[in-house]
Protein backbone atom coordinates (compact mmCIF):
# COMPACT_ATOMS: atom_id res chain seq x y z
CA UNK A 1 0.00 0.00 0.00
CA UNK A 2 1.16 3.52 -0.73
CA UNK A 3 1.33 6.15 2.08
CA UNK A 4 -1.61 7.93 0.39
CA UNK A 5 -3.69 4.75 0.46
CA UNK A 6 -2.88 4.22 4.15
CA UNK A 7 -3.99 7.80 4.86
CA UNK A 8 -7.21 7.30 2.88
CA UNK A 9 -8.08 4.15 4.81
CA UNK A 10 -7.23 5.74 8.17
CA UNK A 11 -9.28 8.82 7.36
CA UNK A 12 -12.35 6.56 6.90
CA UNK A 13 -12.22 5.29 10.49
CA UNK A 14 -14.54 7.99 11.97
CA UNK A 15 -17.07 7.52 9.14
CA UNK A 16 -16.93 3.75 9.56
CA UNK A 17 -17.43 4.16 13.31
CA UNK A 18 -20.60 6.08 12.60
CA UNK A 19 -21.90 3.73 9.89
CA UNK A 20 -20.10 0.52 10.87
CA UNK A 21 -23.13 -1.57 11.76
CA UNK A 22 -25.25 -0.24 8.86
CA UNK A 23 -22.39 -1.03 6.53
CA UNK A 24 -21.91 -4.61 7.66
CA UNK A 25 -25.66 -5.31 7.86
CA UNK A 26 -25.96 -4.04 4.28
CA UNK A 27 -22.90 -6.10 3.34
CA UNK A 28 -24.39 -9.37 4.67
CA UNK A 29 -27.68 -8.70 2.95
CA UNK A 30 -25.94 -8.02 -0.37
CA UNK A 31 -23.58 -10.98 -0.12
CA UNK A 32 -26.20 -13.56 0.92
CA UNK A 33 -28.48 -12.34 -1.92
CA UNK A 34 -25.70 -12.73 -4.49
CA UNK A 35 -24.30 -15.92 -3.00
CA UNK A 36 -27.14 -17.85 -1.36
CA UNK A 37 -24.81 -20.86 -0.93
CA UNK A 38 -23.16 -18.88 1.90
CA UNK A 39 -26.38 -19.27 3.90
CA UNK A 40 -24.93 -22.68 4.75
CA UNK A 41 -21.78 -21.01 6.12
CA UNK A 42 -22.96 -18.01 8.14
CA UNK A 43 -25.07 -18.54 11.21
CA UNK A 44 -28.39 -16.93 10.22
CA UNK A 45 -29.58 -16.89 13.81
CA UNK A 46 -26.59 -14.63 14.61
CA UNK A 47 -27.56 -12.40 11.68
CA UNK A 48 -31.04 -11.88 13.12
CA UNK A 49 -29.68 -11.08 16.57
CA UNK A 50 -27.10 -8.68 15.08
CA UNK A 51 -24.15 -10.29 16.86
CA UNK A 52 -22.17 -11.07 13.70
CA UNK A 53 -22.61 -7.66 11.97
CA UNK A 54 -21.17 -6.05 15.10
CA UNK A 55 -18.19 -8.44 15.17
CA UNK A 56 -17.26 -7.80 11.56
CA UNK A 57 -17.75 -4.03 11.89
CA UNK A 58 -15.41 -4.11 14.88
CA UNK A 59 -12.80 -6.12 12.95
CA UNK A 60 -12.87 -3.75 9.99
CA UNK A 61 -12.47 -0.76 12.31
CA UNK A 62 -9.67 -2.38 14.29
CA UNK A 63 -7.80 -3.11 11.11
CA UNK A 64 -8.19 0.42 9.79
CA UNK A 65 -6.80 1.77 13.05
CA UNK A 66 -3.79 -0.55 13.07
CA UNK A 67 -3.10 -0.58 9.37
CA UNK A 68 0.53 0.45 9.84
CA UNK A 69 1.14 -2.03 12.64
CA UNK A 70 -0.74 -5.23 11.75
CA UNK A 71 1.28 -7.15 14.39
CA UNK A 72 -0.90 -5.38 17.00
CA UNK A 73 -3.81 -7.35 15.62
CA UNK A 74 -2.21 -10.68 16.56
CA UNK A 75 -4.78 -11.51 19.23
CA UNK A 76 -7.70 -10.68 16.94
CA UNK A 77 -6.14 -12.68 14.11
CA UNK A 78 -5.76 -15.70 16.40
CA UNK A 79 -9.41 -15.46 17.46
CA UNK A 80 -10.82 -14.89 13.95
CA UNK A 81 -8.72 -17.60 12.28
CA UNK A 82 -9.74 -20.18 14.91
CA UNK A 83 -13.37 -19.33 14.24
CA UNK A 84 -12.87 -19.45 10.47
CA UNK A 85 -10.99 -22.76 10.58
CA UNK A 86 -13.68 -24.22 12.80
CA UNK A 87 -16.14 -23.27 10.02
CA UNK A 88 -13.91 -24.56 7.19
CA UNK A 89 -13.60 -21.12 5.55
CA UNK A 90 -11.64 -21.41 2.27
CA UNK A 91 -9.30 -18.94 0.48
CA UNK A 92 -11.58 -18.51 -2.55
CA UNK A 93 -14.37 -17.25 -0.27
CA UNK A 94 -12.24 -14.19 0.57
CA UNK A 95 -12.77 -12.87 -2.97
CA UNK A 96 -16.56 -13.04 -2.50
CA UNK A 97 -16.44 -11.31 0.89
CA UNK A 98 -14.00 -8.68 -0.46
CA UNK A 99 -16.06 -7.86 -3.54
CA UNK A 100 -19.25 -7.46 -1.50
CA UNK A 101 -17.57 -5.49 1.25
CA UNK A 102 -16.02 -3.01 -1.20
CA UNK A 103 -19.31 -2.56 -3.09
CA UNK A 104 -21.09 -2.04 0.21
CA UNK A 105 -18.56 0.62 1.31
CA UNK A 106 -19.03 2.33 -2.03
CA UNK A 107 -22.84 2.19 -1.88
CA UNK A 108 -23.35 3.06 1.81
CA UNK A 109 -20.83 5.91 1.83
CA UNK A 110 -21.94 7.04 -1.62
CA UNK A 111 -18.43 6.92 -3.08
CA UNK A 112 -17.92 5.72 -6.69
CA UNK A 113 -16.62 2.15 -6.92
CA UNK A 114 -13.89 3.34 -9.31
CA UNK A 115 -12.36 5.75 -6.79
CA UNK A 116 -9.08 6.09 -4.92
CA UNK A 117 -10.87 5.44 -1.63
CA UNK A 118 -12.28 2.08 -2.73
CA UNK A 119 -8.95 1.13 -4.30
CA UNK A 120 -7.21 1.94 -0.99
CA UNK A 121 -9.73 -0.24 0.88
CA UNK A 122 -9.22 -2.99 -1.66
CA UNK A 123 -5.50 -3.00 -0.93
CA UNK A 124 -6.16 -2.97 2.82
CA UNK A 125 -8.64 -5.86 2.53
CA UNK A 126 -6.22 -7.90 0.39
CA UNK A 127 -3.48 -7.37 2.98
CA UNK A 128 -5.67 -8.57 5.84
CA UNK A 129 -7.09 -11.45 3.75
CA UNK A 130 -3.53 -12.57 2.96
CA UNK A 131 -2.63 -12.66 6.68
CA UNK A 132 -5.80 -14.58 7.60
CA UNK A 133 -5.51 -17.07 4.71
CA UNK A 134 -1.87 -17.82 5.62
CA UNK A 135 -2.61 -18.41 9.32
CA UNK A 136 -5.69 -20.49 8.47
CA UNK A 137 -3.69 -22.73 6.12
CA UNK A 138 -1.18 -23.41 8.92
CA UNK A 139 -4.02 -24.30 11.29
CA UNK A 140 -5.66 -26.68 8.79
CA UNK A 141 -2.29 -28.40 8.33
CA UNK A 142 -1.76 -28.68 12.11
CA UNK A 143 -5.26 -30.09 12.68
CA UNK A 144 -4.83 -32.69 9.93
CA UNK A 145 -1.41 -33.71 11.30
CA UNK A 146 -2.72 -34.50 14.82
CA UNK A 147 -3.26 -38.08 15.93
CA UNK A 148 -6.80 -38.86 14.74
CA UNK A 149 -7.02 -35.31 13.42
CA UNK A 150 -8.79 -33.84 10.41
CA UNK A 151 -9.30 -30.50 8.68
CA UNK A 152 -12.76 -29.28 7.64
CA UNK A 153 -15.90 -31.30 8.31
CA UNK A 154 -16.09 -34.94 9.41
CA UNK A 155 -19.24 -37.00 9.91
CA UNK A 156 -20.08 -37.97 13.48
CA UNK A 157 -22.91 -40.14 14.83
CA UNK A 158 -24.93 -39.36 17.94
CA UNK A 159 -24.15 -42.11 20.48
CA UNK A 160 -26.39 -40.92 23.33
CA UNK A 161 -28.50 -37.97 24.46
CA UNK A 162 -28.88 -37.52 28.19
CA UNK A 163 -31.34 -35.14 29.83
CA UNK A 164 -29.62 -32.86 32.37
CA UNK A 165 -30.98 -29.99 34.49
CA UNK A 166 -29.53 -27.29 32.16
CA UNK A 167 -30.16 -29.01 28.81
CA UNK A 168 -29.31 -32.21 26.95
CA UNK A 169 -25.84 -33.74 26.92
CA UNK A 170 -24.91 -35.12 23.47
CA UNK A 171 -22.21 -37.78 23.07
CA UNK A 172 -20.91 -38.26 19.53
CA UNK A 173 -18.27 -40.44 17.87
CA UNK A 174 -16.71 -40.41 14.37
CA UNK A 175 -18.96 -42.13 11.80
CA UNK A 176 -15.84 -43.82 10.32
CA UNK A 177 -15.19 -45.25 13.84
CA UNK A 178 -11.58 -44.11 13.68
CA UNK A 179 -9.77 -42.27 16.48
CA UNK A 180 -10.28 -38.56 17.12
CA UNK A 181 -7.90 -36.11 18.87
CA UNK A 182 -8.15 -35.66 22.63
CA UNK A 183 -9.33 -32.16 23.59
CA UNK A 184 -9.03 -29.86 26.59
CA UNK A 185 -11.80 -28.27 28.59
CA UNK A 186 -12.59 -24.87 27.02
CA UNK A 187 -11.86 -26.01 23.47
CA UNK A 188 -14.76 -25.93 21.02
CA UNK A 189 -16.06 -27.71 17.96
CA UNK A 190 -18.47 -26.50 15.28
CA UNK A 191 -21.48 -28.71 14.68
CA UNK A 192 -23.47 -28.44 11.46
CA UNK A 193 -27.15 -29.47 11.27
CA UNK A 194 -29.82 -29.49 8.56
CA UNK A 195 -32.45 -26.80 9.10
CA UNK A 196 -35.90 -28.41 8.75
CA UNK A 197 -37.89 -27.22 5.70
CA UNK A 198 -35.26 -24.64 4.69
CA UNK A 199 -32.95 -26.75 2.53
CA UNK A 200 -29.83 -25.36 4.18
CA UNK A 201 -27.28 -26.35 6.83
CA UNK A 202 -26.32 -24.24 9.84
CA UNK A 203 -23.19 -24.37 12.00
CA UNK A 204 -22.72 -23.45 15.65
CA UNK A 205 -19.93 -23.82 18.17
CA UNK A 206 -20.14 -25.94 21.32
CA UNK A 207 -17.57 -25.75 24.11
CA UNK A 208 -16.26 -28.74 26.05
CA UNK A 209 -16.77 -28.26 29.77
CA UNK A 210 -14.33 -31.06 30.64
CA UNK A 211 -11.35 -32.83 29.09
CA UNK A 212 -12.19 -35.19 26.16
CA UNK A 213 -9.53 -37.83 26.54
CA UNK A 214 -11.01 -41.11 25.29
CA UNK A 215 -9.94 -40.48 21.65
CA UNK A 216 -13.32 -42.09 20.78
CA UNK A 217 -16.04 -39.65 21.80
CA UNK A 218 -16.84 -36.02 22.39
CA UNK A 219 -19.55 -34.82 24.77
CA UNK A 220 -21.12 -31.37 24.91
CA UNK A 221 -24.13 -29.73 26.53
CA UNK A 222 -26.86 -28.24 24.35
CA UNK A 223 -28.89 -25.61 26.15
CA UNK A 224 -32.26 -24.44 24.98
CA UNK A 225 -32.32 -20.70 24.11
CA UNK A 226 -35.48 -18.97 25.35
CA UNK A 227 -35.54 -16.63 22.34
CA UNK A 228 -34.37 -18.13 19.08
CA UNK A 229 -35.10 -18.14 15.36
CA UNK A 230 -35.87 -21.24 13.27
CA UNK A 231 -32.13 -21.32 12.41
CA UNK A 232 -31.02 -21.84 16.01
CA UNK A 233 -28.78 -24.91 15.96
CA UNK A 234 -29.22 -25.76 19.66
CA UNK A 235 -32.98 -25.80 19.28
CA UNK A 236 -32.78 -27.91 16.10
CA UNK A 237 -30.52 -30.42 17.88
CA UNK A 238 -32.84 -30.59 20.87
CA UNK A 239 -36.04 -31.07 18.88
CA UNK A 240 -35.06 -32.90 15.68
CA UNK A 241 -31.95 -35.02 16.33
CA UNK A 242 -31.99 -38.56 17.74
CA UNK A 243 -29.44 -41.23 18.69
CA UNK A 244 -27.91 -42.67 15.47
CA UNK A 245 -28.34 -39.45 13.44
CA UNK A 246 -25.27 -37.94 11.78
CA UNK A 247 -23.79 -34.46 12.20
CA UNK A 248 -20.90 -32.68 10.47
CA UNK A 249 -18.27 -31.70 13.04
CA UNK A 250 -15.00 -29.73 12.85
CA UNK A 251 -11.91 -30.53 14.91
CA UNK A 252 -11.51 -28.97 18.40
CA UNK A 253 -9.86 -25.55 18.61
CA UNK A 254 -8.90 -23.23 21.44
CA UNK A 255 -11.63 -20.79 22.49
C1 LIG B 1 -10.55 -9.95 5.94
C2 LIG B 1 -11.63 -10.66 6.00
C3 LIG B 1 -12.39 -11.09 7.21
C4 LIG B 1 -12.45 -10.54 8.47
C5 LIG B 1 -11.74 -9.30 9.01
C6 LIG B 1 -13.34 -11.38 9.24
C7 LIG B 1 -13.64 -11.15 10.58
C8 LIG B 1 -14.47 -11.95 11.33
C9 LIG B 1 -14.78 -11.75 12.73
C10 LIG B 1 -14.26 -10.62 13.61
C11 LIG B 1 -15.61 -12.74 13.12
C12 LIG B 1 -16.23 -12.93 14.49
C13 LIG B 1 -15.43 -13.91 15.30
C14 LIG B 1 -16.17 -14.22 16.59
O15 LIG B 1 -15.97 -13.52 17.57
O16 LIG B 1 -16.95 -15.14 16.63
C17 LIG B 1 -15.82 -13.58 11.96
C18 LIG B 1 -16.63 -14.69 11.96
C19 LIG B 1 -17.00 -15.36 10.82
N20 LIG B 1 -16.48 -15.19 9.57
FE21 LIG B 1 -15.09 -13.84 9.02
N22 LIG B 1 -13.80 -12.39 8.45
C23 LIG B 1 -13.25 -12.25 7.20
C24 LIG B 1 -13.46 -13.08 6.12
C25 LIG B 1 -14.35 -14.10 6.07
C26 LIG B 1 -14.62 -14.92 4.91
C27 LIG B 1 -13.92 -14.84 3.58
C28 LIG B 1 -15.60 -15.81 5.25
C29 LIG B 1 -16.23 -16.86 4.36
C30 LIG B 1 -17.29 -16.70 3.67
C31 LIG B 1 -15.94 -15.53 6.64
C32 LIG B 1 -16.89 -16.22 7.38
C33 LIG B 1 -17.12 -16.05 8.72
C34 LIG B 1 -18.11 -16.81 9.46
C35 LIG B 1 -19.04 -17.87 8.88
C36 LIG B 1 -18.03 -16.39 10.79
C37 LIG B 1 -18.87 -16.85 11.98
C38 LIG B 1 -20.01 -15.91 12.07
C39 LIG B 1 -21.27 -16.53 12.52
O40 LIG B 1 -21.87 -17.29 11.76
O41 LIG B 1 -21.68 -16.21 13.63
N42 LIG B 1 -15.16 -14.50 7.11
N43 LIG B 1 -15.11 -13.10 10.90
* CATH number of the domain that residue 175 is part of: 2.40.30.10
Based on the fold, state whether residues 90 and 37 are members of the same structural domain.
yes
Give residue 209's pLDDT: 95
Give me ligand 1 centre to Cα 84, in Å: 6
Residue 147 CB burial class (10 angstroms; 0-12, 13-18, ≥19): exposed
Q: pLDDT per position in the chain (255 positions), as tens?
A: 899 999 999 888 788 778 877 888 888 899 999 999 999 998 887 666 656 656 776 787 778 778 888 888 888 899 999 999 999 999 999 999 999 999 988 988 899 999 999 999 999 999 899 999 999 999 999 999 999 999 999 999 999 999 999 999 999 999 999 999 999 999 999 999 999 889 999 999 999 999 999 999 999 999 988 877 889 999 999 999 999 999 999 999 987
Cite the active site residues: 94, 136
The pLDDT score that the predictor gives to residue 15 is 83
Same domain, 47 and 121: yes
Please give the pLDDT value at position 50. 57
59 Cβ below 6 A of ligand 1: yes
Nearest-CA residue for ligand 1 atom 33 is 84
What is the pLDDT at residue 92?
A: 97
Asked whether residue 18 falls in the same domain as residue 107, the answer is yes
Q: Identify the domain containing residue 213 by its residue range.
A: 153-254
Domain boundary residue, one of 145, 171, 194:
145
* pLDDT at residue 53, rounded to an integer: 59
Is 200:226 a contact under the CB 8 Å cutoff?
no
Which residues, other chains included, contact 217 with Cβ-Cβ below 8 Å and sequence gap of 6+? 159, 171, 172, 173, 180
Q: In this predicted structure, what is the pLDDT of residue 89? A: 97
At residue 49, the pLDDT reads 62
CATH number of the domain to which 89 belongs: 1.10.490.10
Amino acid sequence: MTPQQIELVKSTVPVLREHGVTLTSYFYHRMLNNHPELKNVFNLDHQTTGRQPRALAAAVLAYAEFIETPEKLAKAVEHITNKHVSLNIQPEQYAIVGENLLHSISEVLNVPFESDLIEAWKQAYLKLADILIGVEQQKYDQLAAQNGGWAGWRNFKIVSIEQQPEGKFFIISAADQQLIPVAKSGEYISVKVHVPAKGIDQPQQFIFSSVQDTAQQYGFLVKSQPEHSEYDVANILLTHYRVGDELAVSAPLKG
